[in-house]
Amino acid sequence: MSKSVSFLVAILSLYIFTYTAWAEDTIAKIAIKGNLAIEADAIKAVIKISEGKPLITEDVRDAIKAIFEMGYFTDVQAETSDTEGGKDLTFIVSERPQIREIEFSGNKEIEKDKLKELLTFKANTILDSNKIRESISKIKTEYENSGHYVADIQYKTETVGENQIKLVFEINENDKVLVKRIILLGNKDYSDDALKKIMQTKEGSWSSWISSKGTFKENMLRGDVEILSSHYLNNGYIQARVEEPQVFLTPDKRWIYITIRIEEGKKFWLGKIDFKGDILDSVDALYKNVKLKEGDVFSRDRLRQDIVSLTDMYGDKGYAFANIVPLTTLDHEKRIVNITFDISKGELVYFERILITGNVKTRDKVVRRELKVGEGELYHGTRLKKSRQKINNLGFFDEVNLSTERGSSPNKLNLIIDIKERPTGTLSVGAGYSSIDSFMMMGSVSQGNLFGRGQKLQLSAEFGEKRKTYNLGFTEPRLLDTEISAGFDIYNMEKQYTDFSKKSNGGDIRLGFPLWFEETRGYLTYRYEESEIFDISTSAGKYITDQAGRNTLSSITASIVRDTRDSYLAPMSGSNNSVSTELAGGFFGGTRSFVKHLGNSSWFYPVFWDTSVMLHGAIGYAEGTEGKTLPIDERFFVGGMNTVRGFDPRSLGPKDESGIVIGGNKELIFNVEYLFPLAKEAGLRGVIFYDAGNAFGDNEVYDIESLRTSAGYGIRWYSPIGPLRLEWGYNLNPKDGEKLSRWEFSIGTFF
């Protein structure tokens, strides 16, 4: 018998002897030794051995393995000792050290707090080398994104107590790596400059050391491959191929050369466009949902848009799983692409159940009544998207996510609405300065989702050098769970204008109801107010002095509003249009009699890079009735934040014999705004604007040539207490005595 075979037999005999010996013993007690930070009970919880059971070798091995897999120990051993009751089994562990402190050294580009956020572990946890490697990888990626492509991150440990260490990350940021040159090979129809212009990665220059231009970022370069590919595919080059870039780092690790090879291929145009498969109505109806036209340059993006449009068309008819496959054939000689959309509509799909999750305060019915789809109804994609928009516009939620899951049968879907509530009650106290009201203090208590029923209650007060206002308002958006809204306001106000002051107290009752067009509502508002005009300037003319004294107002206002904005707070698309007429006096009583017509229209268009354009127009007309003069505080005063910026508030329009602006009975205003994000997560946006407007007297007509114009810029913050605006306007055609420009600040809604 060979020595090796003899050794194997000996080992097997020892194993059998040991197994047999242990199998005859009973575990009297299980103990843990060597643990400092990890409790013994936590270790015992992972092993499957218990006292009073037979002692079996394989069970002990499994227990050692399970303790190791906890990840807290560098060594685990087991030993036994004889007792009267059997065998005492003791597991002896050697713990990994505990991280008591975490420090960074050498970091200048990235702050310590940011680096800590990237760690996959925290202080007072057990040292885990895998998590350290993960953290170093994340830190290195962060440095690469900031241009430090060759940043070096190492770590060391320092003992600070019994089995406790301080973990120190040693960072050598090195200089930013700049792109010396981008070499494009194979491009013929597009020049190097044309392609480099659309790339995110740019070549460095002398200014790159103080700016980010030319900084090399690997993830940005990967994105450039897709940008170049999309450029070609959207301009007819359906066979274009952009290879992975080759990157060469110079020996001094300061410059990078990038080479990108491109195969352009030939340019193709669209040939015949056809449809086959499940055609519901007619081919003509399908063509209306396709933007691609015969003779156009082929575009992959437009093809994708057409597939989405056709899919939505079928989805709106209940075919939630319609499949649209574009089949293409190439005519290389004529360089045309023929496209046939192969349509498989699938089964009609119905909504089975609608489940709402995540709402703690808000009642289910508040969400359900905003839905444009219902249980048992056919699937409708457009209405589903609209439902999400309407729920989001409630303003009660930070997140609104709609998803579907299979129902009890293949043709049924469950709709899951997962929401994340935001605080809707606010208590705010503050002070500020308004260009209209000078110094002011304000306070408000509001609840936008009272008792989770969607009701709105607000109590507010403002105290300023020129204004004192108290207001209590309540709105029930769905009276008795119908489409009818109702509410009231009670207010008391004292305001000092340039040439007079006004005290008023009153209130209104509001009623809203849907009209025949979608997203269109009608409103009726009854207003009653007792007021006094006093403290009239000695330089004021007869028109103003005749207004002095006490008055009562009793009026009703009828209005129609159509609002299709995608968001009420920060709209990017859609429009908000309204017309209203207010009748005071006559049948309604009161000492004031007039009629006032208003029209407002705002349109929002997304442009690019999360920017948008807003176009706004307003027109107004008012006149006294029953032989009475139109009250001074019901006339139109133009100038200031909400009309034509850059002009003093209430400074534009007709003047009396003393040269004091008395407002007009007509107004015409136009505003154009370009809005762009400054800090999207914080709700901070920038704006560039152009305004034109004026007010016209009783004997004047609307005159475009008489409109005063301004332009300027500003910032807007969608703060917790409401929209804040700080804007500077420049008078484009100043007259004698007028300011060239002015800054304005306000709290309130936008156009």
Indicate the burial class of 636 (C-beta count within 10 angstroms; 0-12, 13-18, 19 or more).
Answer: buried
Q: What is the pLDDT of residue 721?
A: 57
Q: What is the pLDDT of residues 316-374, one digit of tens each?
A: 999 999 999 999 999 999 999 999 999 999 999 999 999 999 999 999 999 999 999 99
Q: What confidence category does residue 436 fall into, taking pLDDT thresholds of 50, 70 and 90? A: low
Cβ distance 238 to 265 under 8 Å? yes
Q: Is the dihedral of CA 453, 456, 459, 463 positive or negative?
A: positive
d(CA 319, CA 349): 6
Q: What is the pLDDT of residue 746?
A: 75
DSSP string, 368-410: HTT-S--TTSBP-HHHHHHHHHHHHTTS-EEEEEEEEEE-SST
d(CA 139, CA 144): 9
- For the cut 90, the answer to whether the pLDDT of residue 147 exceeds it is no
Q: How crowded is residue 250: how many other Cβ atoms within 10 Å of its Cβ? A: 11
Residue type, 390: K
- For the cut 50, the answer to whether the pLDDT of residue 602 exceeds it is yes
Most confident by average pLDDT, 97-106, 246-255, 369-378: 369-378
- For the cut 50, the answer to whether the pLDDT of residue 1 exceeds it is no
Give the pLDDT mean for 441-455.
86
Specify the DSSP class assigned to residue 288.
T
- For the cut 60, the answer to whether the pLDDT of residue 19 exceeds it is no
Q: What is the pLDDT of residues 354-367, one digit of tens each?
A: 999 999 999 999 99
Q: What confidence category does residue 124 fall into, taking pLDDT thresholds of 50, 70 and 90? A: confident
Q: Which two tokens stand for residue 279?
A: 């055609």
Give the pLDDT mean for 678-704.
92
Where would I find the beta strands (DSSP E) of 264-345?
A: 269-277, 323-331, 336-344
d(CA 255, CA 731): 49
Q: What is the pLDDT of residues 718-731, one digit of tens each?
A: 766 567 889 999 99
Q: What confidence category does residue 750 fall into, taking pLDDT thresholds of 50, 70 and 90? A: low
Token look-up 């946890």 returns: 125
Q: Which residues are bridge partners to 494 per DSSP?
A: 468, 503
Cβ within 8 Å of residue 478, ≥6 positions away: 369, 454, 484, 485
Residue type, 193: D
- For the cut 80, the answer to whether the pLDDT of residue 164 exceeds it is yes
Specify the DSSP class assigned to residue 152.
E
Residue type, 664: G
Q: For the CA atoms of 490, 459, 575, 712, what is the dihedral angle to 10 degrees?
A: 110
Residue 204, φ and ψ in degrees, nearest 5 = -75, 165
Name the more confident of 483 and 210. Answer: 483
Q: What is the pLDDT of residue 16?
A: 42
Task: Report the predicted TM-score, pTM, of the whole model to 2 decimal places.
Answer: 0.66
Residue 630, φ and ψ in degrees, nearest 5 = -65, 125
Rg (CA), the chain: 37
d(CA 589, CA 593): 8
Name the more confident of 4 and 230. Answer: 230
d(CA 98, CA 162): 9
Q: What is the pLDDT of residue 18?
A: 43
Give the pLDDT mean for 141-164.
85
DSSP string, 296-310: SBP-HHHHHHHHHHH
Print the SS3 string covering 181-208.
Answer: EEEEECCCCCCHHHHHHHCCCCCCCHHH
Cβ distance 661 to 650 under 8 Å? yes
Q: What is the pLDDT of residue 544?
A: 85
Rounded to 5°, angle at Cα 109 from 201 and 175: 60
Name the more confident of 248 and 12. Answer: 248
Token look-up 């402190």 returns: 101
